[in-house]
């Protein structure tokens, strides 16, 4: 899998690059652009909230099987005492032809 992780927000940066990740719908097209100018298109197959302690790390970082794009950010409730989110939002997308 190709995994990209980014913030939803931060104290000094109220709207992070993945702020709208949780709003993606199934089959939304996501395009990833590389530094060399090439790009690859993917279709979203799932958007899942996982409590941070239950994040399926082995599945997310799989090195075999179906080639997928995995996008990760924070989500769920915010713990006001730590300023941290309770969950991770995980979007999985499959390559488009």
Contact status, residue 4 vs residue 32, Cβ threshold 8 Å = yes
- What's residue 14's pLDDT? 83
Tell me the C-alpha distance between 11 and 79, whole Å.
Answer: 14
- What's residue 47's pLDDT? 97
Question: What six digits make up the tokens of 19?
Answer: 């702020």
Query: Where residue 97 falls among pLDDT bands split at 50, 70, 90?
Result: confident
Average confidence score pLDDT of the chain: 93
Which residue spans within the chain are E strands per DSSP? 2-5, 29-33, 39-51, 69-79, 84-95
What secondary structure letter does DSSP report for 25?
P
The tens digit of pLDDT for each residue in 7-32 reads: 898 777 788 889 999 999 998 999 99
């Amino acid at each position: 899998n190709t995994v990209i992780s980014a913030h939803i927000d931060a104290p000094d940066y109220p709207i992070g690059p993945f702020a709208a990740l949780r709003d993606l719908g199934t089959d939304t097209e996501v395009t990833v652009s590389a530094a060399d100018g090439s790009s690859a298109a993917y279709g979203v197959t799932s958007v899942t909230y996982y409590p941070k302690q239950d994040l399926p790390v082995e599945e997310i970082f799989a090195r075999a099987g179906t080639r997928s794009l995995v996008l990760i950010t924070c989500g769920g409730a915010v713990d006001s005492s730590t300023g941290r989110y309770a969950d991770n939002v995980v979007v999985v997308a499959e390559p488009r032809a």
